Amino acid sequence: MFLETICLLNAKVQNIDAHIKRMRQTAEYFRFDAPELPDLEVLLTSGMENLKVKCSIHYHNEISSISFERYIPKVINSLKLINASPDYAFKFSDRRELNNLLNSREECEEVLIVRNGYITDTTYSNVVLQKGDELYTPHNPILNGTKRQKLLQEGTISEKVIRKESLKEYSRIYLINAMLDIEDNISVNVDMIKE
């Protein structure tokens, strides 16, 4: 079973083409036909029209569930570096492996995954690191997220190989995903990334 998380902002679906593309790529890789998405704007629950809404779609060759909930970003004050190599190149419904990593966060709110010495992602987001006026995202993410792809295509961010040892070269780290943009400022100073 797979998961697609789609943002609706003021009752308008965001970045839908990227989500459909990812669903089709997932289906092609696992050899099934991707289901067609219904009109999510029509399905949106009454009273949620003026909110940021997280739409979660669980699917395989057909959609098994669609849910909507108001999105309230997590407060992130610090990140814990953790060495791991989770298999999450596709957005699976089963997040146990990522949730187990999150259990290692100690006093921090979230973990920053280091794979073979390279910075990747958190358990729920891609990351963007700031160096001066430039914004970089790690070259080898755990999941090539839809927001990450959009910001790369727009030229807002650039890919870069970022080693754990080079974190001190950056000033700030932003968390991005389908629900979070850089402007949402879910971020911490790099000195709040703990070993």
Domain assignments of the chain as residue spans, ordered by start: 2-70, 79-194
pLDDT of residue 15 exceeding 90: yes
Quick one: which of 151, 188, 141, 181 has its CA closest to 167? 188
Considering the domain delimited by 79-194, tell me its CATH architecture.
Alpha-Beta Barrel (3.20)
User: In the predicted model, what is the mean pLDDT of residues 123-129?
Assistant: 97
CATH number given to 2-70 = 3.30.470.10
pLDDT at 99: 92
Q: pLDDT tens-digit profile of 91-100?
A: 999 999 999 9
Q: Is pLDDT above 90 for 30? A: yes
β pairing state of 193-194 and 187-189: unpaired
Whole-prediction pTM: 0.94
Tens of pLDDT along 134-157? Answer: 999 999 999 999 999 999 999 999
Element (H, E) at 53: strand 52-59
pLDDT for residue 120 is more than 90: yes
> Which is more confidently placed, 187 or 45?
187
